[in-house]
Amino acid sequence: MSEIEHLLREDLRGQTAYGAPQLDVPVQLNTNENAYPIPEDVAAVVAEFIGRELRGLNRYPDRDALALRGDLAAYLGHGLTADNVWAANGSNEILQQLLQAFGGPGRAVLGFMPSYSMHPLLARGTGTAFVDAGREADYTLTPGHVRWAIEAHDPDLVFLVSPNNPTGTALDAAVVEAAYEAARGIVVIDEAYAEFARDRASTALGLLEGRKRLVVTRTMSKAFAFAGARVGYLAADPELVEKLLLVRLPYHLSSITQAAARGALACATRLQSEVDELKHQRDRIVKNLRAKGLPVADSDANFVLVGGLRDAAAVWRAVLDEGVLIRDVGLPGRLRITAGNEEETASLLAAFDTVLERRPELFDSASEQRSASEQQQEQNQ
């Protein structure tokens, strides 16, 4: 053990930092980014908002980001106001602040893996114990399972993800309600991909009223194509929002970030057209991979989870050799694929055609693939 390793917190020793492979390949479909760059007309609006702030950069930003929070509340609707909203540098910082305020040493957060891989890492970073209650064999969650897990573990926080990453599945409102009724602590619904849901009304925002311990987190990284700007936010009861000010860093959200986000929000309707196109490409991937005999669950996110792989790591490498980068999320027999633009989708499907033809031993037999695919489609009817 090195001198520095010896001085590190014991629970961090031997750990590796989070990160997806960043490789220079023609088609990158591995980190769930929005495939479309900011349109020129939107970029002009964002630049105008930023320009208004440039000469005032000698002053600290609005510490509480009130104007941005008001714009976010207007975007979300559901009768929310700025007092219901909090913003930070990406939804990861939002989740970290929730853990700092309501978790910490001697406290626990309950999650349901496989789900967003940052949840246990954020818990560890804040000294909060992470408890994994697992999922059903098909990766779904039922109200009964969630209620049982909360009653069995009595966590201080509960993390639920809808649509879930990496499965792409959305939660039924009954699951959220069961979690809230069973929990004594904070219930967080991570809705990073909510704008891509087939039913936009499936959001938990409509459940916030009267539920003071319920939190809905969002991000501008996906639907707003704003991953590089790092803007995340939450909606909750005003008292809960107020408590987060106890742990936020002073002036944590820069004037430039706030201005850029407000410019993008002013163009929200324009940006939704790109969301609709990504949903189309997502469904195109699902349809085509199923036609090849591969089981793919219906997705409410901007990615899909494909199965039927005897050797997921080898398929990942073979697809990469065709110039397409997708994500190995560590689930046996499965890989995650981000929905790209029309050309990227064509390249992805062509890559799978090539690998299926050249390396059939990497996949389940054709009959097994068709059987699984047909069963999935029957369940969805």
Confidence of residue 255 (pLDDT cuts 50, 70, 90): very high
- Could you read off the pLDDT of 34-82 as tens digits, one per residue? 999 999 999 999 999 999 999 999 999 999 999 999 999 999 999 999 9
Q: For position 380, what pLDDT does the model report? A: 47
Q: Calculate mean pLDDT across residues 295-300.
A: 93
Question: In which domain, by residue range, is 368 found?
Answer: 21-36+271-380
The DSSP symbol for 10 reads G
Q: For position 187, what pLDDT does the model report? A: 98
Residue 119 in domain: yes
End position of a domain, from candidates 225, 253, 281 = 253
Number of H helices, E strands in the chain: 13, 11
The DSSP symbol for 150 reads H
Residues 80 and 141 in one domain: yes
Reply yes or no on whether the pLDDT at 11 is more than 60: yes
Q: For position 253, what pLDDT does the model report? A: 97
- Could you read off the pLDDT of 150-184 as tens digits, one per residue? 999 999 999 999 999 999 999 999 999 999 999 99
Question: Quick check: 349 and 283 in contact, CB under 8 A?
Answer: no
How many angstroms separate the CA atoms of 348 and 325, rounded?
A: 9
Q: For position 13, what pLDDT does the model report? A: 87
Whether the upstream peptide bond of residue 114 has omega within 30° of 0, thus cis, is yes
Question: What CATH number has the domain bearing residue 311?
Answer: 3.90.1150.10
Nearest alpha carbon to residue 71 among 188, 220, 196 = 220
Tokens of 162: 């809808």
pTM for the complete prediction?
0.91
Residue 110 in domain: yes
Q: Per mean pLDDT, which range of 7-16, 134-143, 211-220 is the poorest?
A: 7-16
Reply yes or no on whether the pLDDT at 376 is more than 60: no
- CA 193, distance to chain mean position in Å, is 6
Reply yes or no on whether the pLDDT at 134 is more than 50: yes
What separation, in Å, do the N-terminal and C-terminal C-alpha atoms of the chain show?
Answer: 57
Q: For position 372, what pLDDT does the model report? A: 45
Residue 7 in domain: no
Q: For position 83, what pLDDT does the model report? A: 98
Residues 280 and 247 in one domain: no
Question: Quick check: 337 and 347 in contact, CB under 8 A?
Answer: no
Residue with more model confidence, 368 or 104: 104
Burial of residue 381 (CB within 10 Å: 0-12, 13-18, 19+) is exposed
Mean pLDDT of the chain: 93
Q: For position 63, what pLDDT does the model report? A: 95
Question: Quick check: 140 and 164 in contact, CB under 8 A?
Answer: no
Q: For position 365, what pLDDT does the model report? A: 61
H or E element that contains 335: strand 335-338
DSSP codes joined into one string, 184-198: SSEEEEE-TTGGG-S
Residues 180 and 275 in one domain: no
How many angstroms separate the CA atoms of 271 and 263, rounded?
A: 12
Residue 323 in domain: yes
- DSSP β-bridge partners for residue 267: none
End position of a domain, from candidates 253, 285, 310 = 253
Confidence of residue 3 (pLDDT cuts 50, 70, 90): confident
Residues 233 and 286 in one domain: no
The percent of residues above 70 in pLDDT, for the chain, comes to 95
Residue 49 in domain: no
What are the φ/ψ torsions at residue 125 (nearest 5 degrees)? Answer: -65, -25
How many angstroms separate the CA atoms of 362 and 357, rounded?
A: 10
How many angstroms separate the CA atoms of 327 and 193, rounded?
A: 17
Confidence of residue 272 (pLDDT cuts 50, 70, 90): confident
Reply yes or no on whether the pLDDT at 30 is more than 80: yes
Reply yes or no on whether the pLDDT at 261 is more than 90: yes
Residues 302 and 339 in one domain: yes
Residues 6+ apart with CB under 8 A from 298: 168, 169, 198, 286, 380
Q: Dihedral of CA 376/170/111/219: which sign? A: positive
Residues 175 and 29 in one domain: no
Residue 225 in domain: yes
Total number of domains constituting the chain: 2
Residues 122 and 165 in one domain: yes
Q: For position 5, what pLDDT does the model report? A: 87
Find where tokens 């609709």 sit.
276
Residues 6+ apart with CB under 8 A from 177: 143, 207
